[in-house]
Structure 1
Amino acid sequence: MKNHLLTYGSFSEYEIDKIVNEYSEELTFKKRDYIVTAGEVSHYQYFILEGCMRGFIIDYQGKEHNIIFGFEDFWFGDMESFDSGKAAIYNFQALEPLKLLAISKENWDKISTEIPSFIAYKCKLFQNAMMFQQMRIAEHLTQSAEQRYYNLLQKYPDVIFRISLKNIASYLGISPEFVSILRKRAVQK
């Protein structure tokens, strides 16, 4: 986490130590464990130290839709639930064993008060998240499934080794069979 804090913010060693060791707690989850479940309040923001997760919603017909994948050095959580105390609408599930740093709402607010540079860091995180979501929506509406697949591989080259075809297909909005065809085409190129 130290490298992430220094990449996107300006922190002293003391501030980093305080964030990581005083205000964060390390949690581990097994593959398939739920970190956040829709309908419950999300009390933490999570930073991935090791592993991979998916964030998904369930539609009115009970179908899962993957919205995001998270790998090492990635923040996640249901921000609205975390901030407002309302029930989460997102589910977050471990796709691999996960080692996380978790920061509670109380500590998140304390960090923001005691370490002013954390506010600028959060702004950068939110700005990056907003740009990512805007790009994801634009890609989904303007690109073919094949283009979206290749974009995913470009951004996350090891995604095909870490995430199942079913989960990739859900993320791209296509069938697992078509992902298999795209994977074969990619290998042939």
Structure 2
Amino acid sequence: MIKEKGQALLNYINNYVSLTEIEAEILLSKVTYRKYLKGQFIVQQGDVCKYECFVLSGCTKTFYIDEEGQEHIVMFSIEDWWTSDIGSFITQTPADFNVQCLENTELIMFSYDIIEDLYEAIPKLERFFRQIIEKAFVASQKRIVRSFSLSAKDRFIYFRNQYPKIEQRIPQYMIASYLGITKEFLSKIKSELIFEQ
């Protein structure tokens, strides 16, 4: 099962580093494959995040709940993306975020100990994980800058252009939460954009 499913992961990794057949076999022998149903949580706020997850199919949202019970979405993940509470995973301390499936989702999961073992067995994987974490860090910083410097309308246009495959799969109120606006304001922006075409 993992061999069939693992090809998408191997293709992804090969964009960064080249694995030999033996290294690919070692990697796939150590990871976990799991299916989640729509609505299930992969990580819950306050629990330690045990896995770094590669999405084979499906869609997840990463969010936190503030003291007023308000949901704030910080990320979506679809096929060929990663999902987890990376801060909690790296430090093995309680998670600030929840990760929940918005669709039935299939994942390949790396536990903390397994990643450490893989670094020993296949040193180039350390470079691979460093590169994807750096990429995530840069994306997160750019998002902070956009949230300060762009209007809500421009943030939505950026979201739509950057993630065309996501918009159709996610309820509007979640996109509004991700953009930090109300769903009514998002509807108004979308109406303006249709009018401008």
Alignment pair present for 1:96 and 2:87: no
Partner Cα separation in structure 1 for residue 85 and residue 148 of structure 2: 24
Question: Is the partner of 1:159 in helix, strand or coil?
Answer: helix
TM-score by length of 2: 0.91
The CA distance in 1 between the partners of 2:79 and 2:47, in whole Å, is 25
State how far apart, in whole Å, the 1-side matches of 2:110 and 2:62 are: 18
What SS is found at the alignment partner of 2:19?
A: coil
- 1:15 has 2:4 as partner: no
The alpha-carbon deviation at position 183 of structure 1 amounts to 2.6
For residues 107-162 of structure 1, the C-alpha deviation after alignment (integer angstroms, 9 at most, x for no partner) is 11101111010011011111101110011000000000000001001111122210
Instruction: Give the aligned residue type for 2:90.
Output: D
> Conserved in 1, the CA contact under 8 Å of 2:34 and 2:109?
yes
Pair 1:120 & 2:127 matched: yes
1:55-89 deviation digits (Å, cap 9, x = unpaired) = 00111222110001111111121223223321111
CA distance in 1, matches of 2:93, 2:130: 22
Code of the aligned partner of 2:48: V
Q: Is the 2:78–2:166 contact (alpha carbons within 8 Å) kept by the matching residues of 1?
A: no
Q: Does 1:177 align with 2:181?
A: no
Aligned length in residues: 188
User: Counterparts of 1:103-182 in structure 2 under 5 Å?
Assistant: 103-182=110-189
Letter in 2 for 1:25: T
| Aligned partners of 1:42 and 1:82 also within 8 Å | yes
Structure 2 alignment gaps of length 5 or more: 1-8
Give TM-score, length-normalised by structure 1: 0.94
Identity of aligned residues (%): 31
- Contact 2:37-2:105 at 8 Å conserved across structures: yes
Q: Deviations over 1:10-52 (max 9, x none)?
A: 2222212322x21111111111111100111111110000011
Note if 1:50 corresponds to 2:57. Answer: yes
Secondary structure of 2:110's counterpart equals strand
Q: What residue is the counterpart of 1:61 in the other structure?
A: 68
SS in 1 for 2:178: helix
CA RMSD of aligned residues (A): 1.3
Contact preservation (8 Å) 2:176, 2:183: yes
